[in-house]
Chain A
């Protein structure tokens, strides 16, 4: 597998990376962990003229508590997110999503910023940032801005990142005491991407669901919040029958994908099953 030729740049700082991005624009692709870009370059589906390798920018690799939020640097690896105590304790659904990605090698190299920017419709993080109400912090020549997860995913492999912008950080609000969460995934046996993945974050008070956030990945051209399910659960009891009924709406209004491994009918079925299982697990943990 031999990619087309390209020029290689390795900036020493975020500022330098933004500068390079400014200079070369559409000709350049940003390389973080390389687990999405390199395979498509080897198949010559992607042929960037230049690679800007930000993979070693230590300033973008961190996980820290900032008041009521947990801030994760864009170059934090899946393995770090899956095993970091703060994430495991405060954002279990996120740790579970990270742990469910690929295999050991992928988790040790791949980064959260790279995965989100790539916006693969079957990636795991998109469901987690949606259900977690995260903000994606991006930086361009003109400075920094925050994009709500709900506004980030536009279409297949397309985000609201503007040319010249890099993801620098992902910020998750901490979950309240009465909130449980879970990420469950039905992996494709070959790619291990999600045929269906579901992140659920549920706040429960006295057996009543105060708020439920349910996000599904792998089902449609982008990950999405299953609002109809969420609405059906709000103010309802946590009993399994209620959940079972609510998840019937898991793919309402969604154009469900189909491929040779899973038809749209089967995928929609799995979406309901995984929404239910993730919700019940989140409720159990609340």
Chain B
């Protein structure tokens, strides 16, 4: 039996995706189905004076029109927030309601006001245009710096100065003291701009209600169907959970934007109950731009203190985080516990303090987007370190090495306790950087840079060395930090009588290749072929429970739950095998899919044992028939992947255009189950991180209109914007989960953004350019050169 773990097995899901046989929510057609079109606010901030639905009601094919008042009158609440962060003074955060349809006021362009349900999608859309909403337009605020000024427009009356909460972490006094004694301080003002996720499949939801059984079904393109069921039942609609089934079939990407419980999910479910007919809503691409939760959007002032020897002695960070118009499901956690806790980076910095103010504005809600907090932390750290290296006149790789935490494996040496609450599991940071320098031929690149500069060409080399916390997360820890849920994962392994295996996992897949990776774990462990294992996910009716897919947790947490289920399967299988082999359990060893009596040739296969479990004619006394187990796995700690990246760019100083020439990533994500899938994850992540550095950025005008609301304006990276990536790895196993894995879904996004920006700043250093704000559009780069020339 060939080992499967560690092999680049081809993805079993690809046949159906490549041949167009995927089944996405919008592909589903239920009998008697109706279609919903949502009337959305064209204003960023306005009072709703009246809503006249009479013309829409009378339009051809219209089944019903509902407004915010209809929903409020039925006693239904708004969508909840799943994470509570307290003010520094202990007060709970401001948590204004987020109604399913707006009642009195709209707070961003795209805020839902009414829903029209018709026999066809076309009729629904046409009739939605006939709903007449009388708005009293109010001044809007989109910029966090303006939102907290006295006299700024107020998004929610409950939140004075638009502040949702303020928050801090670390030792302020110690950090201030470090700055007072510093030999050198590097300071940067950084905008981590707002990004729009743009999953290839727009969000879609179908509500269905069967009055005969009083049961609801919600089909939704979500990353975590169980959590959606929990939130929608318990907090929004007040329907008992056992009366609701949530199905997330094939989902075409999420990048975080499909974690959250959106109003449309509750809306179609509520409408289906009202109408007794299925109701489908699928976002138009413009709606995706306006209403999928956005990412990032920080304004930060960050300072790093150094001693005479170039050792980092302190880090001080002040951030204004834009939350948008409403609190999305996990919004409060992103600029706090997934951000401030990562500010140790890979460095031994002895004093750290971070201060965050979370702010409401008249913009689309902001929540987790691939990396979620960790890219923001990494960006400021890596920009600071590289800027400091330039100011101190030392090589940026050398400055990093001087400040790296020494290697520790988490077994023989303890984990590393940071200044910002986390304890790193295992790491060898020097290792990845040394490997990067070698793979990238760093010395050769510097020589090339020097020669090209003589010819008037501007090559730039930039680094990023990152760490991230993923595999979220120990429930008790996140509970103490304000999470209103546990973050374990569940998996059920069901062995069929023929010895084939069905695995039901709570980790939902929407591009990650779980059906392959998880099957590799199971087949490898049980000595089966890959095709003997089927992985099922995305249906609350068949999967025991699940906390969903985000934070690079599926393998570390969901995979570990599978591993625990397999332990139980093998433990019971051994009992049956011992009985059938008439041997003592402790004399058996399991290898290559069979139990063998040690030192003999007497053996019995896994399949024979499975059959005996279901046809228990000759069977251990007192043992239950059947062979299936469920395990819930709650991790002992986060996992901490890390890596070192290098970007090489050339800048055309005349136009400011940046060309990315080379990108090298050396990552350490612990053990690797399928290298090809990990490489794919890294490639995709790099593209997204590079996209943030060079191309992407949501743009609002002063009145709150989203200017970058189409693919004609919002620039996503394309193949011809990117070089061929060089991806390499180091393996430092995670010491605290059964697979030794750390997670690879977000590393590329987290690591790449600062590497590219550092490279561009490096390219322009001969002009005296010190800093640039993302995205590095040609005009910004050109202006920086012009300004530096005239300075």
Contact present for B713 and A189 (CB under 8 Å):
no
Q: Name the B residues within 8 Å of A270 (CB-CB).
A: 655
Chain A nearest Cβ from B163, distance in angstroms = 28
Residue of A with least CB distance to B287: A1
Q: Name the B residues within 8 Å of A261 (CB-CB).
A: 713, 777, 779
Q: How far is the CA of A261 from the CA of B121 in the complex (A)?
A: 35
Contact present for A262 and B779 (CB under 8 Å):
yes
Is A241 at the interface (CB under 8 A from chain B)? no
Is A266 at the interface (CB under 8 A from chain B)? yes
Contact present for B779 and A190 (CB under 8 Å):
no
Contact present for A191 and B713 (CB under 8 Å):
yes
Q: Name the A residues within 8 Å of B286 (CB-CB).
A: 1, 43
Is A5 at the interface (CB under 8 A from chain B)? yes
- Total chain B interface residues with beta-carbon distance under 8 A: 27
Q: Name the A residues within 8 Å of B778 (CB-CB).
A: 186, 262, 266
Q: How far is the CA of A186 from the CA of B783 in the complex (A)?
A: 17
Contact present for A1 and B284 (CB under 8 Å):
yes
Is B44 at the interface (CB under 8 A from chain A)? no
Question: Which residues of A, 244-285, contact B by the 8 Å Cβ criterion?
Answer: 260-263, 266, 269-270, 273
Q: Name the A residues within 8 Å of B122 (CB-CB).
A: 2, 5
Contact present for B779 and A266 (CB under 8 Å):
yes
Q: Name the B residues within 8 Å of A46 (CB-CB).
A: none
Q: Name the A residues within 8 Å of B654 (CB-CB).
A: 273
Q: Name the A residues within 8 Å of B783 (CB-CB).
A: 266
Would you call the interface of chain A mostly helix, strand, loop, or mixed? loop
Is A4 at the interface (CB under 8 A from chain B)? yes
Is B263 at the interface (CB under 8 A from chain A)? no
Residue of A with least CB distance to B716: A190
Q: How far is the CA of A273 from the CA of B655 in the complex (A)?
A: 8
Q: Name the B residues within 8 Å of A263 (CB-CB).
A: 779
Is B714 at the interface (CB under 8 A from chain A)? yes
Q: Name the B residues within 8 Å of A1 (CB-CB).
A: 284-286
Q: How far is the CA of A269 from the CA of B783 in the complex (A)?
A: 11
Contact present for B126 and A191 (CB under 8 Å):
no
Residue of B with least CB distance to A269: B782
Contact present for A189 and B695 (CB under 8 Å):
yes
Question: Which residues of A, 3-57, contact B by the 8 Å Cβ criterion?
Answer: 4-5, 39, 43
Q: How far is the CA of A32 from the CA of B695 in the complex (A)?
A: 32
- Name the segment of B146-154, B387-395, B704-712 touching the other chain: B704-712
Residue of A with least CB distance to B123: A5
**Given A1-B286, A5-B126, A273-B655, A190 and B714 touching (CB < 8 A)?**
yes
Q: Name the A residues within 8 Å of B285 (CB-CB).
A: 1
Residue of A with least CB distance to B720: A103
Q: Name the A residues within 8 Å of B307 (CB-CB).
A: none
Q: How far is the CA of A190 from the CA of B657 in the complex (A)?
A: 14
Question: Which residues of B, 276-314, contact A by the 8 Å Cβ criterion?
Answer: 284-286
Residue of A with least CB distance to B124: A2
Question: Which residues of B, 110-126, contact A by the 8 Å Cβ criterion?
Answer: 121-122, 125-126
Q: How far is the CA of A106 from the CA of B716 in the complex (A)?
A: 18
**Given A1-B286, A273-B655, A191 and B695 touching (CB < 8 A)?**
no
Q: Name the B residues within 8 Å of A5 (CB-CB).
A: 122, 126
Question: Which residues of A, 189-230, contact B by the 8 Å Cβ criterion?
Answer: 189-191, 193
Residue of A with least CB distance to B128: A2
Is B721 at the interface (CB under 8 A from chain A)? yes
Contact present for A189 and B721 (CB under 8 Å):
yes
Q: Name the B residues within 8 Å of A188 (CB-CB).
A: 715
Contact present for A260 and B121 (CB under 8 Å):
no
Contact present for A190 and B711 (CB under 8 Å):
yes
Q: Name the A residues within 8 Å of B777 (CB-CB).
A: 261
Chain B nearest Cβ from A44, distance in angstroms = 8
Contact present for B284 and A190 (CB under 8 Å):
no
Q: Which of B126, B712, B713 contacts A4 (CB 8 A)?
A: B126
Q: Name the A residues within 8 Å of B782 (CB-CB).
A: 266, 269
Contact-residue bracket for chain A: 20 to 34
Question: Which residues of B, 699-747, contact A by the 8 Å Cβ criterion?
Answer: 699, 707-708, 710-716, 721
Q: Name the A residues within 8 Å of B710 (CB-CB).
A: 43
Contact present for A260 and B712 (CB under 8 Å):
no
**Given A190-B713, A266-B782, A260 and B708 touching (CB < 8 A)?**
yes
Contact present for A2 and B121 (CB under 8 Å):
yes
Interface 1/0s, chain A 165-179, versus B by CB < 8 A?
000000000000000
Q: Name the A residues within 8 Å of B713 (CB-CB).
A: 190-191, 260-261
Chain A nearest Cβ from B546, distance in angstroms = 33
Chain A nearest Cβ from B236, distance in angstroms = 28
Q: How far is the CA of A270 from the CA of B657 in the complex (A)?
A: 11
Q: Which of B655, B707, B721 has the most CB of A within 10 A?
A: B655
Residue of A with least CB distance to B35: A2
Q: Which of A189, A190, A261 has the most CB of B within 10 A?
A: A189
Chain B nearest Cβ from A276, distance in angstroms = 9
**Given A1-B284, A1-B285, A4-B126, A190 and B707 touching (CB < 8 A)?**
no
Residue of B with least CB distance to A2: B125
Q: How far is the CA of A217 from the CA of B285 in the complex (A)?
A: 29
Q: How far is the CA of A80 from the CA of B286 in the complex (A)?
A: 33
Q: How far is the CA of A263 from the CA of B125 in the complex (A)?
A: 36
Q: How far is the CA of A232 from the CA of B228 in the complex (A)?
A: 68
Q: Name the B residues within 8 Å of A273 (CB-CB).
A: 654-655
Chain A nearest Cβ from B121, distance in angstroms = 6
Chain A nearest Cβ from B756, distance in angstroms = 14
Q: Name the A residues within 8 Å of B125 (CB-CB).
A: 2
Q: Name the B residues within 8 Å of A269 (CB-CB).
A: 782
Residue of B with least CB distance to A189: B715
Q: Name the A residues within 8 Å of B779 (CB-CB).
A: 261-263, 266
Q: How far is the CA of A78 from the CA of B699 in the complex (A)?
A: 32
Q: How far is the CA of A188 from the CA of B721 in the complex (A)?
A: 12
Q: How far is the CA of A260 from the CA of B126 in the complex (A)?
A: 32
Chain B nearest Cβ from A1, distance in angstroms = 5
Chain B nearest Cβ from A116, distance in angstroms = 20
Chain B nearest Cβ from A39, distance in angstroms = 8
Contact present for B699 and A260 (CB under 8 Å):
yes
Question: Which residues of B, 666-699, contact A by the 8 Å Cβ criterion?
Answer: 695, 699
Residue of B with least CB distance to A44: B129
Question: Which residues of B, 619-670, contact A by the 8 Å Cβ criterion?
Answer: 654-655, 657
Residue of A with least CB distance to B707: A260
Q: How far is the CA of A239 from the CA of B483 in the complex (A)?
A: 69
Chain A nearest Cβ from B690, distance in angstroms = 12
**Given A266-B782, A273-B654, A2 and B712 touching (CB < 8 A)?**
no
Chain A nearest Cβ from B187, distance in angstroms = 28
Question: Which residues of B, 450-485, contact A by the 8 Å Cβ criterion?
Answer: none
Residue of B with least CB distance to A196: B655
Chain B nearest Cβ from A99, distance in angstroms = 13
Q: Name the B residues within 8 Å of A2 (CB-CB).
A: 121-122, 125, 284
Q: How far is the CA of A39 from the CA of B284 in the complex (A)?
A: 13
Q: How far is the CA of A165 from the CA of B715 in the complex (A)?
A: 36
Residue of B with least CB distance to A272: B654
Q: How far is the CA of A263 from the CA of B713 in the complex (A)?
A: 15
Q: How far is the CA of A266 from the CA of B707 in the complex (A)?
A: 19
Q: How far is the CA of A7 from the CA of B715 in the complex (A)?
A: 34
Chain A nearest Cβ from B117, distance in angstroms = 15
Q: How far is the CA of A266 from the CA of B655 in the complex (A)?
A: 9
Q: Name the A residues within 8 Å of B712 (CB-CB).
A: 39, 190-191, 193
Residue of B with least CB distance to A1: B284
Q: Name the B residues within 8 Å of A4 (CB-CB).
A: 126
Q: How far is the CA of A179 from the CA of B713 in the complex (A)?
A: 37
Q: How far is the CA of A273 from the CA of B652 in the complex (A)?
A: 11
The 6 tightest CB contacts between A and B, nearest first, are A190-B715, A189-B715, A191-B712, A266-B779, A2-B125, A1-B284
Given contacts A190-B714, A193-B712, could you give 12 more A-B pairs where the C-beta distance is less than 8 Å?
A: A1-B284, A5-B122, A5-B126, A43-B710, A186-B655, A189-B715, A189-B721, A190-B716, A191-B711, A191-B712, A262-B778, A263-B779
Q: Can you give 8 A-B contacts (C-beta < 8 A)?
A: A1-B284, A1-B286, A190-B695, A191-B713, A260-B708, A261-B777, A262-B778, A266-B782
Binding site for A on B (CB under 8 A): 121-122, 125-126, 284-286, 654-655, 657, 695, 699, 707-708, 710-716, 721, 777-779, 782-783
